[in-house]
Structure 1
């Protein structure tokens, strides 16, 4: 027995051994591939495509329509219940998540090839924009399904932490291929040929994805979807009449939110350029209300339902038979829209306030700052396009990937919450590096000189100015911090959702992360105009400090949750709830 225990301890000892075992698992390879498939279309539709349109001399007013594409990613949670609830006829045999992933990847490949055969001129932009819009919807749908798949297939060897890190590595690599490398390829063989190649890559990934592991459709969560529906008729469940009222309220709110987005999209496509609504204004003005309608108010409703169930009020006093009529349809809708929130709120309780606060603040620094990075580099610091491309795209992406690798290693050694807290701390502190750059960068230059980093950059980029080493040095540390924080954040976010409702719950939480960055940019832009970049970086450091404090509270919460459940692990609640 002692030898067996020693052997078990040896096998499960955290460190490089655990990391390498996880990476050797086929699930890790497919996760990297799916991460690449997620990042490539995002880069091609929201970045590189604008370069093609500019080269084709498409008018800026017309080009503004393409910013609609970003809405598919910002509000993807609106159709996430479909991923958890609906099976696609003819594809369900592929698996619970692959029935969405593989068709989406193949559709994306076809769309990119179709774009390569199209002509993005002002006269023919309608068909081109339609294809890009459908592609963005397919890409966002793929992201929902892949994130849910990653959570579903994680096990003790291919851990959730490692799969989350590997996914991001693939995603970041795709951003480099679709962005910087895409521009280089297009300059040599042309845009149509470039998009043809990218489409072929996604088609190949879609075909390879056929062999990826997945849970069966009949294994959704704890059992078949029908079993989850049958459980609603059991003693102790919420009374059907009350469920119907809750569904009516939540369904109306979601319908209004979806209708608002569709109306905006119609106005943007059908109206004349001078009359089209502004996408940024729409996100700022309507985005918070969409979140209130689809997340905040339904969460209160879900919390009340959970409290009623816990108190034994408004619940069934005995099992009732299933009605195949209207109540059956209502139960299906209730399971898709309301149950994910009821489960999450009921499981988290008042801890939900802490969870949402951490979600809203953890990535806010880099989420807001990203919009102003190029104006800061090019306008404020007067670097050239080539210098910024070298520092941020080539060297910077490498630093993020290195940070992800280091974050993955830390997750296996010190645990998720320690890594999450450390990531929040260093991500906040790197804002001080940019504050130094805003007042001349003397400290960054001295630090770069001290470790001979300046000599390395002068050798690698002889075209650069004398200030390029300190810019690259600053970006390197920031991106390294982003990589560590990103690895921990996605792993933590994935760990707090339920496998039964992973698509909806993860999509809702990740959308909040995206939206808060969008909402804060206007205020930050005004502050830059009024106070300058230095004060802004001091402010973002302080906001990052708030995230560190919240991480500590969440760490304490998980420790207490583990103590109550009798589970002694580095991170309580380390596995998504079943």
Structure 2
């Protein structure tokens, strides 16, 4: 069955066999904690008048999804105790789902006002487990595919499950919260996660690849065991230092300051340590990868299997990318770091903006953002796919970067009263349709942002898919798409402080200017000629097989 199956036909296909039905449920299981932790949680905090600076710091829990490839070798090879008899994949899924259910219940029982540190700690652990579940599902989806339930079909069904989860954890959660309160919402979502364990138990367990387990490096060229270990130590220390720095500041920022002491500034932290974090997590591993290319051996000697698995997952894919792109890797990585910054950096503040600053109700935001907005995102993705197939990769990338930056100006206009939006609505007679003018303004702004986000997202997924080589497609895709979250997530805490200090409109103007950096890098990459060169074959489909999506409320 073709991966082009969509809509009701896709849902019918999902119900057509055990594998596809389970994939739909597990796609829902993947998407539900993501939307509850990255978007909906901020609506709860905003309703309680938690400061935007605190919301910005707390949004760093989303980095768990960016860093998940770091522990993927452990998840891929080890089995959790007591559950090992369920199989390599199902044991991890059951552990993650049951733990997520318990953590959602604990979040429901914790007061974010009086115990923000405990609340944040629970959210961090939940994000870590949610990201781990995604690692397992990405592997399981590939391993159980066959001629009927193809990887492409399973990936499309996985995305469909994610969309159902976004509606449940977004729109439905807002509607329920308006009537019962947020603790009841998170208690109910915890029950839903527990119910999804049944889908995991019904899932077929994939056969283990004995040869790959015995020879993790296979025929890949690599340095000798001593140098492999040294490369892993250097990369591990860089990532460890970055995570420790972020975690330490997060704990400090969420702890009450000592009497007479000044609260730590997220803006100061971002300016001082943000560049160093990028160096430790991006530049240093790239330099190590370049060094390993110089000292590699065509037939490397085997070392310790666990270390070799880690090397294959964390260093080899980047080494291949640097070796193939040479100096062009600098432009590619820079473009990946900033391309989605416009929408990713302000995502945690969307619900506080709609609900608290603009004064819309939960029901209004649920309809405009999560129901109507989803349709606009689909329209944007379809537009991106059409442009990608007719105009090509780089023109679509450029259009996505420009529209993503311009969409921030819509929100700046909305924040100052919506004069520009009113003029647009007046020209097209949108106020004559009998819909409340305030809702029209919100829907126009969300339409622009979601169409731009869908277009940019489709272009970006296609671009990363074209960069990844077939030999390392899954890991390179995960690595490159993870970088997408890094810069935007680092800037969120500082952005929360900036909004409290100068207001939403100036910040939206600033994020629009940030988007011009992505526009400039697209032009440079286009000029560099990488898009016109024959692209390496990739097993990742640009529109349906993407496990990554810019965080949205």
* Shorter-chain TM-score above 0.5: yes
Q: Deviations over 1:431-476 (max 9, x none)?
A: 45556667875664454345554344x34xxxx3x35424422321
Number of the residue aligned with 1:469 = 440
Number of the residue aligned with 1:200 = 191
Number of the residue aligned with 1:257 = 242
- C-alpha separation in 2, matches of 1:423 and 1:157: 35
Q: Deviations over 1:117-158 (max 9, x none)?
A: x35387777776654443222123223444555677789988
The SS at the match of 2:168 is helix
1:246: Cα distance to partner?
A: 2.6
**1:396, 1:475 within 8 Å by CA — same for their partners in 2?**
yes
Number of the residue aligned with 1:24 = 13
Distance 1:159 1:366, change over 3 A: farther
Q: Deviations over 1:316-344 (max 9, x none)?
A: 7x775x57xxx566545534543343244
- C-alpha separation in 1, matches of 2:407 and 2:416: 15
1:363: Cα distance to partner?
A: 0.9
Q: Deviations over 1:245-285 (max 9, x none)?
A: 33333333334334434544665688767777566765664
Question: Are 2:534 and 1:561 aligned?
Answer: yes
Number of the residue aligned with 1:228 = 216
- Superposed counterparts of 1:1-400, under 5 Å: 24=13, 33-49=25-41, 69-70=61-62, 72-73=64-65, 75-88=67-80, 99-116=91-108, 118=109, 120=111, 131-147=122-138, 167=158, 170-212=161-203, 216-218=207-209, 223-229=211-217, 231=219, 237-261=222-246, 263-264=248-249, 282=269, 285-309=272-296, 315=297, 330-370=307-347, 384-385=360-361, 390-400=367-377
- C-alpha separation in 1, matches of 2:458 and 2:89: 22
Bigger RCO of structures 1 and 2 (CA < 8 A, at least 6 apart) = 2
**Consecutive unaligned residues in structure 2, runs of 5 or more:** 547-553
**2:56, 2:495 within 8 Å by CA — same for their partners in 1?**
no
Q: What's the TM-score, normalizing by structure 2? A: 0.74
The SS at the match of 1:217 is coil
Distance 1:210 1:424, change over 3 A: farther
Distance 1:536 1:351, change over 3 A: same
Question: Are 2:464 and 1:493 aligned?
Answer: yes
**1:113, 1:195 within 8 Å by CA — same for their partners in 2?**
yes
- C-alpha separation in 1, matches of 2:482 and 2:257: 30
How big is the alpha-carbon RMSD for the aligned residues of Structure 1 and Structure 2? 5.1
Q: What's the TM-score, normalizing by structure 1? A: 0.71
1:367: Cα distance to partner?
A: 2.1
Q: In the comparison of the two structures, how many residue pairs are matched?
A: 536
- C-alpha separation in 2, matches of 1:84 and 1:106: 19
The SS at the match of 2:291 is helix
Distance 1:376 1:136, change over 3 A: closer
The SS at the match of 1:224 is helix
- C-alpha separation in 2, matches of 1:376 and 1:62: 15
1:241: Cα distance to partner?
A: 3.5
Number of the residue aligned with 1:483 = 454
Q: 1:517 aligns with which of 488, 506, 528?
A: 488
Distance 1:197 1:535, change over 3 A: closer
Distance 1:189 1:435, change over 3 A: closer
**1:160, 1:495 within 8 Å by CA — same for their partners in 2?**
no
- C-alpha separation in 1, matches of 2:388 and 2:5: 11
Q: 1:546 aligns with which of 507, 512, 520?
A: 520
1:411: Cα distance to partner?
A: 6.5
Q: Which moved more, 1:475-484 or 1:540-549?
A: 540-549
- C-alpha separation in 2, matches of 1:552 and 1:80: 33
1:366: Cα distance to partner?
A: 1.6
**2:68, 2:132 within 8 Å by CA — same for their partners in 1?**
yes
1:479: Cα distance to partner?
A: 0.9
- C-alpha separation in 2, matches of 1:530 and 1:48: 20
**1:453, 1:469 within 8 Å by CA — same for their partners in 2?**
yes
**1:378, 1:384 within 8 Å by CA — same for their partners in 2?**
yes
The SS at the match of 2:127 is helix
**1:72, 1:137 within 8 Å by CA — same for their partners in 2?**
yes
- C-alpha separation in 2, matches of 1:154 and 1:425: 38
1:297: Cα distance to partner?
A: 0.9
Distance 1:468 1:20, change over 3 A: closer
Distance 1:302 1:175, change over 3 A: same
